[in-house]
Structures are given as structure tokens and as C-alpha cells.
Chains A and B, each alone.
Chain A
Amino acid sequence: MDSFKQAFDLLFSLDQELLQILGVTLRMSFFSTTISCLLGLPLGALLGTRHFRGKAFLKKTIHTLMGLPPVVAGLFVYALFTHYGPFGRLNMLFTVRVMVVAQCLLILPVVTGLTASFLEKGAVPMIETAKGMGLSRRKVLFLCLSENRASLLSVVLNAFGRSIAEVGAVSIVGGNIQWKTRVMTTAIMLETNKGRFSFALALGIILLLVAFVVNVAASWIVKEEARDV
């Protein structure tokens, strides 16, 4: 109960550092989810609805990457953006931008794989109907995404959930720098290591609240969508 009280005290006291951590967390999760979805939804749609050579291998690769350990993704991105790495000149290491890159590496396969699975199961009759009506490829793809938006929204939520809860990759490439790259998960880890369990728990409760609010909003959208069918 103390933790709950501390969580609400922290929230309502408008602690500047907490707000900054919350801001970085939401910014990072928003951009990594958006970028991953912008790339992953059309890619997943292509993978789920088209037949091409090497599709089985690509699917296996994506399924493997869906389980990519975050620390491995972090290490890989760190190697790319470190001073001696191929992108070292960009000076992006220990910034929110590189944290977004690392998260995209983790989330993109999830979005692509889940989208493909959803569409593979239910989209074929819809696509054949749309193609049969003489609609253009672009319109068929748009319809495919639009008709399955409730399922795809759950893909987006899954991506956001993975992004906001991730700690391994962001701590490696972000460095957990105070007032700069510290996010909720890395702050919880730090506070736990310092022995401030109540404070860490309070941060955890705030993180859960954020996830809860996003999920409630999404459920409401899905409900409205279902009413609109």
C-alpha cells in the first residue's frame, strides 16, 4: 500500500524528473511503435497475402527475429553506432533516437509476423473478392488493412506493449543517463539496484497505469469499430 501511495504522491507531486522520465518513455515508445507499424504492417500484408519465391524462408527468419533477445538487439545496435562502428559518425549513441532504432529492430519483426499471421488466416476470401471486382493492387492492399483494423490494432498494441516494457536494449544503447535517456524500465532497474524498492515499485505502478490507459483506449476503439461493421 505504501508503494501505491508513493506512486500517486509521485504522480500528483508533478516531480520534474519523473515527468521527464515518463516523457522520454512515451516519446520513445510512440516513435518506435509508429515506425515499426509504418514498415511492418504493409510488409506483413505482403507476406500474408502474396506468394513469392523464398516466402517460407523469410517467414522463418521473421519468426526467429520475433524472439530476438533485447540485449542482443541492443548489442547489435551498439556495435553499429559506437564511435568505431559504421554509423559512428552520426554521434547517436546514448540518445533517444538510437533507443528508437534498437526498439524498431525488436518490434518490426513482431509487427510483420503478427500482421502476416492475421491476414493469412482471414484475408484470402476478401482479397479474391476485391481483386475480382477489378480493384487496383493499391486499393486491395488498403482494403486488406482497413478490413482487418481491429486485429491490426491488437498488433499495434502488442508492439507498444513490447516497446514500453523493454529494458535490455535501451539500457545498452541509451545508457540510462539521468535527464536524457532514462526511461521507466531503466529507472526501475536502477532504483531496485540502489535498494529503493518502494520507489521502484511506485515507478512500476505508474508504468502499469500508462499501459492500462493505452489498453483501455484501444479496447474502446475496437468496440467502436465492431459497432461500425
Chain B
Amino acid sequence: MFEVRNLKKVYRERVVLEIEHLSLPQGETLALAGANGSGKTTLLRILAGNLKPTEGETRTAPPVLCLPQRCYAFRGTVLDNVLLGARDKKDEALALLEETELLALKDKKAASLSGGELQKLAACRLLVSPCKLLLLDEPTSACDAAGTKLVLSLLSRYREKTGCTVVLSTHTPAVATQAANRLVILNNGKIEADGDPQTVLRAPESDWAKEFIAGWRI
């Protein structure tokens, strides 16, 4: 689970995030949407502990795992990368690689992977370890439709197995509706819409949200 209260982040006198209250019970999945610069990544970085808020408090249930927006390929092979944080979980690592269709590439250098393959590898690398809170910043942004489907099904199985809470940011409505049971739309750092993804998408509460969703579907 996680909870934030009176959260505020200011960058050089510009308020980039201002949330009075947001919480998510254990086992649920929240999708964050919003235009570029709306505060999605800032919120995820604060929850991950990579960024200090200017004001407010956050509560998270450890252990927290986080997939940043920019995927990084560590030295070594694809398998080395997955085993980096879990040396003793070779079988699980191989199973994850098989699920994401990366098994054939397991002995290839991670740095030679394409953007989409790297994103799948990053998901495997993270999901080999259990956690209570999983934070994913645009986890499928570089994947094609098939790759997105693989990552989402992997995520779904992981959630079932561990019972963790998931917060993910996305620019794809299908990801929000398939992966999450709650959708929050941010606008200039503030919550503009919050609720069940289908409801939020079908009947947006404000004119801004209506306009954003109309554009989002394109």
C-alpha cells in the first residue's frame, strides 16, 4: 500500500506536484495518466524515495521496487542482468525470460537489445524479486502491441503471486484499462480525475478531463 498527504514538490518556484491525499490499499493497481510534465514521474520518484518532496508525507510498505522511465542496460548478458539482484534465482529468471520471449537472447549482451527488448528485460529484472509496492514509470512505452501484452500478463501474474500494490504511469488508455483497477489523471501536478478506469474514461468529471481523454484516445 501507499499513502500521501499534503504532498507538494516545487522546482525553482514552480509547483510540479500538489496532492492533498492519495492512497491505495494493498493488492490494488493504480494507473497514472496525464500530459507530459503533469507530475506522474515526480510522484513515482517520490514514492520510490529517489526524490524528496518539498512538503507533505508519504507512507509506503517496503520493500518497494521501481522501474524508472529510462531503462538502463547493465554490463554483461541478458541473463546476467536479470540475476543482478537475485543471484540464486536462475530458474525464475529463465522462466521470466521465456515468458517475455527473451530466452533466445539470454546470452546476448544487454546493451545490444532494442528499446522494446530492453524494456521487457527491465521488467524481468525487477519482477524476479518479490515486493509490497511496485512502481512502474511507463513500463511499455517502447514495446509494440505484442510486447505490451507480454509485459502486462507478466505483471498480472506477479501481482497475483505476491499480492503487491502496483502504481504505473502510462500514455496508453488500453494499458490503464487492462492493468489497473483505478485511474488517476494528473493535470499540472493536481488530481483532475480519479476512479475506476472505465468510468473515468466514459464519463470524465471535468471539461479538462473530457478534452484530455478525447485526445488520449487518438
Enumerate chain A interface residues (CB-CB to B < 8 A): 125-126, 128-135, 143, 146-147, 228-229
Q: Is the CB of B70 within 8 A of A134?
A: no
Central interface residue in B48, B85, B135, by most chain A CB within 10 Å: B85
Known A-B contacts A133-B84, A133-B126; the reply to A125 vs B70 at CB < 8 A is: yes
Query: Does B182 lie at the interface of the complex (its beta carbon under 8 Å from any beta carbon of A)?
Result: no
Q: Is the CB of A128 within 8 A of B68?
A: yes
Q: How far is the CA of A20 from the CA of B35 in the complex (A)?
A: 69
Q: Is the CB of B75 within 8 A of A146?
A: yes
The 6 closest A-B pairs by CB, nearest first: A132-B66, A129-B72, A133-B85, A128-B68, A125-B70, A126-B72
Q: Is the CB of B65 within 8 A of A133?
A: yes
Q: Which residues of B contact A128 (CB under 8 A)?
A: 45, 48, 50, 66, 68
Central interface residue in A132, A134, A228, by most chain B CB within 10 Å: A132
Q: Is the CB of B70 within 8 A of A132?
A: no
Closest to A136 in B: B85
Q: How far is the CA of A125 from the CA of B68 in the complex (A)?
A: 8
Residue from the list B50, B111, B125 in contact with A133, Cβ < 8 A: B125
Known A-B contacts A133-B126, A135-B84; the reply to A143 vs B68 at CB < 8 A is: no
Closest to B112 in A: A229
Closest to B122 in A: A129
What distance in Å separates the Cβ of B88 from its nearest Cβ neighbour in chain A? 14
Q: How far is the CA of A126 from the CA of B111 in the complex (A)?
A: 13
Q: Is the CB of B126 within 8 A of A132?
A: yes
- Can you give 26 contacting A-B residue pairs, CB < 8 Å? A125-B68, A126-B72, A126-B74, A128-B48, A128-B50, A128-B68, A129-B67, A130-B84, A131-B48, A132-B65, A132-B68, A132-B126, A132-B135, A133-B85, A133-B129, A134-B63, A134-B65, A134-B85, A134-B129, A134-B131, A135-B85, A143-B74, A143-B84, A147-B74, A228-B75, A229-B75
Enumerate chain B interface residues (CB-CB to A < 8 A): 45, 48-50, 63-68, 70-72, 74-75, 84-85, 109, 111, 122, 125-126, 129, 131, 135
Q: How far is the CA of A143 from the CA of B80 in the complex (A)?
A: 13
What distance in Å separates the Cβ of A223 from its nearest Cβ neighbour in chain B? 15
Central interface residue in B48, B72, B125, by most chain A CB within 10 Å: B72
Closest to A131 in B: B50
Q: Is the CB of B71 within 8 A of A129?
A: yes
Q: Which residues of B contact A228 (CB under 8 A)?
A: 75
Q: Which residues of B contact A147 (CB under 8 A)?
A: 74-75
Closest to A229 in B: B111
Q: How far is the CA of A133 from the CA of B66 in the complex (A)?
A: 6
What distance in Å separates the Cβ of A94 from its nearest Cβ neighbour in chain B? 46
Q: How far is the CA of A159 from the CA of B188 in the complex (A)?
A: 47
Q: Is the CB of B48 within 8 A of A132?
A: yes
Q: Which residues of A contact B48 (CB under 8 A)?
A: 128, 131-132
Closest to B130 in A: A134
Residue from the list B67, B75, B109 in contact with A132, Cβ < 8 A: B67
Closest to A122 in B: B72
Q: Which residues of A contact B74 (CB under 8 A)?
A: 126, 129, 143, 147
What distance in Å separates the Cβ of B117 from its nearest Cβ neighbour in chain A? 16
What distance in Å separates the Cβ of B2 from its nearest Cβ neighbour in chain A? 15
Known A-B contacts A131-B66, A133-B126, A229-B109; the reply to A125 vs B72 at CB < 8 A is: yes
Q: How far is the CA of A130 from the CA of B66 in the complex (A)?
A: 9
What distance in Å separates the Cβ of B142 from its nearest Cβ neighbour in chain A? 14
Residue from the list A129, A135, A146, A229 in contact with B68, Cβ < 8 A: A129
Q: How far is the CA of A125 from the CA of B125 in the complex (A)?
A: 15
